[in-house]
Chain A
Amino acid sequence: MLSIQSAKEESHLRRRDAWRIGIIVLVLIASAVSLYISPFTLGLDLRGGVNVVLEADESATTVTNESMNGVVSIIERRINALGVSEPLIQRQGARRVIVELPGISDQQQAIDTVGATALLEFKDPQGRTALDGSYLKNVQLGTDRYGQPAIDLEFDQEGARLFAQLTTGFQGQTTTIVLDGEVLQTVMIREPILEGKAQITGGMTIEEARHMVVLLQEGSLPVPMKIMEIRNVGPTLGQDSIDRSFRAGAIGVILVLLFMAFYYKLPGITADLALLIYIVIVLGVLSAIDAVLTLPGIAGIILSVGMAVDANVLIFERIKEELADGKRLRSAIEAGFNRAFATILDSNITTLITAAVLFFVGTGGVRGFAVTLGVGILASMFTAVIVTRLFLDFMVERRPDTMAKHFSSGGLKR
């Protein structure tokens, strides 16, 4: 009778274990695959680059949703024309645009590309605007008659008509070519130009000319933008930060593993295994949700390792208490897990509340920190309840006496 029951119990345990093993293996495989397919995107503070925050200058024009979208798409095209890899252009709120340019170290280039309104104007001798860059059909890099870099402009039909009007009406006088309020060139109009072609020449380097071609080709921003903030991290600092936080993290994790093994002995080693799995899961989930890894984010991961142990500690301490109350090992583990879980849930939900608030209120690096904190809490609950439990049950089956001894002896004497 007794043996039949224990056999039944055994098969029940086996089935439950199979489920747990299945889930753990699945999560581990998914994490590994995700890490392999989409390795981390590093934040600008780690890989270097320029971050620009722009705000619409409302004193000039009224700002609408459409005009802001126009700003974003024009900035996007300018950056693409420059060939920056993986840029990020994002609207923030009603009047702001955030631009991230990884790998760019020239701040001036970033300002010129992103911040310039690029409004080209041809002014008559009285200073009135005869036509502007919106009538351009084609812009090309050319050379003037001395072989210096120049910009060839071709207007559309309406532009050609306006340009003809200007050059006919003010023949023998001067027209001024102005870009964003800055005079590029003042030219004598020798003869009427009817075919709608013009050239900007004089005093620019080939880079400047090329840059201006991009700006004029993509058109002017519908709303002038002011630069509110520029952050630029050089590649040296980024690499240094990665090295340092990696070293701090590795040593910290090793010390935590050693502490658990020495303090809780065999059960502690099972917790260590769970902790290693925890790290794989956290990294896997973060890469799966395409989290951008920032310096505060890495600090968050490292911090979460220290805190992840908490769930295990809570459970182990409970099991010790249950054993001290005279329960047998198996039922002590069962009761320990059940009672500790309520505590883990309540204490972690409050921490999740702060992580959620950080996520919704914070920006940039702070947000990255909130994500890692939140993912860390969820993963630590998973590993404590599923992974540690499985390992403990496994060890109890193999080494019941050692486990009982270690659980009872470990730690402070009461």
Chain B
Amino acid sequence: MINFVSYRKPAFIISGILVVLSIIFMFVPGLNLGVDFTGGTILERQTAQNVTTDQVRRVLDEATPNIDLAGAVVQILDRPNQFMIRTRELSNADIIQIDQAFDTEFGSLIELKTDVVGPVIGKELVRNALIAIVVSAVGILAYVSWRFEYRFATVAVLCLLHDVLIVLGFFAITGREVNSPFVASVLAVLGYSINNTIVVFDRIRENRRVKKKQSYGELVNQSLNQTLTRSLNTAITTLVVIVMLVIFGGSAIGDFAMALLVGILLGTFSSLFLAGPLWMTWMERQK
């Protein structure tokens, strides 16, 4: 039997540090918001030959001097003959001119993807994403308070905020792009995290009814150990498919899968080392 409760101090400290760091990372260096949020243009193109970011930049500088592309981000995608340019909102005429330049320089240009997003849409997306997270949290809080009790609910929501914040921090420090699918993956993490926590709390509630004399520490430890195999097996099967998405998904789905990967690792950690011990600490303080 693993004594989870005995690790609560280091677990709280590590989590606390990670959450604080994540919040700092969200300001410095800050989240790499994609055009979905900021507005702007994304061009993904494929050419006949392998290119480097320098080559792409050179074409942009030399062939389209009339278009202001200062601050444009150039990135090579999964394959060396595919690249991406991210820049401000461009007109269609600008895009056509840029495409012609690439076609002349590198040959047989294929348009993979073009996104042009106005600034208004981006602002709405930020607002909707925040609404989604807040409404989900409130909904879960209400449901868990009703089915269990408010302390379980509060701890569960704290755990999922912990998971989501660290995913955001991870994306900020690694400079991965935050876009509209990222919002979906964060909410999936939220769903997974709450699911895990509830399984543990469900067991604590059940054990509490049966053995009234147990200390909170014993109760939490027993419940965590009883649900441990389940927690690990579910984490394994879920992680297996996500790792496949990370490996084979390519650029279109890679970041989405990466957010899930980090989030599910965190969700597993918080349901084992944070949820029960936090609840226990709360209960003991109240005595």
A245, B249: Cα distance in complex, Å = 6
A56: min CB distance to chain B, Å: 13
By beta carbon, the residue of chain B nearest A340 is B230
Chain B CB within 10 Å, residue with most, of A230, A339, A342, A366: A366
Given A295-B181, A299-B245, A310-B234, decide whether A354 and B187 contact each other with a Cβ distance below 8 A.
Answer: yes
Which of B51-59, B68-76, B137-145, B170-178 has 4 or more CB atoms under 8 Å from chain A?
Answer: B137-145
Q: Do A354 and B140 have beta carbons less than 8 Å apart?
A: yes
Q: Do A230 and B241 have beta carbons less than 8 Å apart?
A: no
Across the interface, which residues of A come within 8 angstroms of B46, CB to CB?
236
Which of A27-35, A208-216, A301-309, A395-403 has 4 or more CB atoms under 8 Å from chain B?
Answer: A301-309
Which of A243-259 touch B at CB < 8 Å?
244-245, 247-249, 251-253, 255-256, 259
A357 within 8 A of B: yes
Q: Do A295 and B92 have beta carbons less than 8 Å apart?
A: no
B242 within 8 A of A: yes
Partner of A358 from B184, B233, B260 at Cβ < 8 Å: B184
Q: Do A361 and B128 have beta carbons less than 8 Å apart?
A: yes
Q: Do B241 and A303 have beta carbons less than 8 Å apart?
A: yes
Chain B CB within 10 Å, residue with most, of A228, A349, A354: A354
Across the interface, which residues of A come within 8 angstroms of B13, CB to CB?
none
Which of A350-381 touch B at CB < 8 Å?
350-351, 353-358, 361-366, 369-370, 373
Given A296-B181, A302-B245, decide whether A314 and B188 contact each other with a Cβ distance below 8 A.
Answer: no
Partner of A107 from B114, B121, B144 at Cβ < 8 Å: B114
Q: Do B242 and A233 have beta carbons less than 8 Å apart?
A: no
Partner of A244 from B116, B147, B188, B250 at Cβ < 8 Å: B250
Across the interface, which residues of A come within 8 angstroms of B110, CB to CB?
234, 236
A337: min CB distance to chain B, Å: 15
Partner of B198 from A263, A313, A347 at Cβ < 8 Å: A347
A346, B243: Cα distance in complex, Å = 27
**Chain B window 173-198, contacts with chain A (Cβ cutoff 8 Å), 1 for yes, 0 for no:** 00000001101100110111011101
Q: Do A317 and B241 have beta carbons less than 8 Å apart?
A: no
A181: min CB distance to chain B, Å: 16
Which of A154-201 touch B at CB < 8 Å?
none
A350, B148: Cα distance in complex, Å = 12
The majority secondary structure among interface residues of chain B is: helix
A46: min CB distance to chain B, Å: 10
Partner of B234 from A227, A309, A358 at Cβ < 8 Å: A309
Q: Do A369 and B184 have beta carbons less than 8 Å apart?
A: yes
By beta carbon, the residue of chain A nearest B95 is A107
A111, B95: Cα distance in complex, Å = 13
Q: Do B118 and A229 have beta carbons less than 8 Å apart?
A: yes
Across the interface, which residues of A come within 8 angstroms of B229, CB to CB?
313, 317, 411-412
B78: min CB distance to chain A, Å: 9
A277, B140: Cα distance in complex, Å = 30
B103 within 8 A of A: no
A353, B146: Cα distance in complex, Å = 14
A228, B117: Cα distance in complex, Å = 6
**Chain B window 12-26, contacts with chain A (Cβ cutoff 8 Å), 1 for yes, 0 for no:** 000000000000000
Which of B211-219, B251-259, B279-287 has 4 or more CB atoms under 8 Å from chain A?
Answer: B251-259
B220: min CB distance to chain A, Å: 17
B102: min CB distance to chain A, Å: 14
Across the interface, which residues of A come within 8 angstroms of B120, CB to CB?
55, 228
**Chain B window 107-120, contacts with chain A (Cβ cutoff 8 Å), 1 for yes, 0 for no:** 00011111111101
B199 within 8 A of A: yes
Given A314-B230, A373-B191, A411-B229, decide whether A299 and B256 contact each other with a Cβ distance below 8 A.
Answer: yes
Across the interface, which residues of B come within 8 angstroms of A370, CB to CB?
184, 187
A151 within 8 A of B: no
A363, B249: Cα distance in complex, Å = 22
By beta carbon, the residue of chain A nearest B231 is A313
By beta carbon, the residue of chain B nearest A359 is B132
B226 within 8 A of A: yes
Q: Do A247 and B116 have beta carbons less than 8 Å apart?
A: no
A393 within 8 A of B: no
A69 within 8 A of B: no
By beta carbon, the residue of chain A nearest B228 is A412
Q: Do A244 and B256 have beta carbons less than 8 Å apart?
A: no
Q: Do A347 and B245 have beta carbons less than 8 Å apart?
A: no
A350, B147: Cα distance in complex, Å = 11
A378, B238: Cα distance in complex, Å = 17
Q: Do B234 and A351 have beta carbons less than 8 Å apart?
A: no
Q: Do B147 and A255 have beta carbons less than 8 Å apart?
A: no
Q: Do A252 and B115 have beta carbons less than 8 Å apart?
A: no
By beta carbon, the residue of chain B nearest A352 is B191
Closest 3 CB pairs of A and B: A252-B241, A306-B238, A252-B244
Sampled A-B contacts (27; CB under 8 Å): A55-B120, A108-B96, A231-B116, A237-B113, A241-B252, A245-B245, A248-B241, A295-B252, A299-B181, A299-B245, A307-B234, A307-B238, A309-B237, A310-B238, A313-B237, A317-B227, A317-B233, A349-B143, A353-B139, A354-B187, A354-B191, A356-B139, A357-B135, A357-B139, A361-B131, A369-B188, A412-B229
Which residues of B are interface residues toward A (Cβ below 8 A)? 1, 44, 46, 92, 95-96, 110-118, 120-121, 128-129, 131-132, 135-136, 139-140, 143-144, 147-148, 180-181, 183-184, 187-188, 190-192, 194-196, 198-199, 202-203, 206, 225-230, 233-234, 236-245, 247-250, 252-253, 256-257, 260
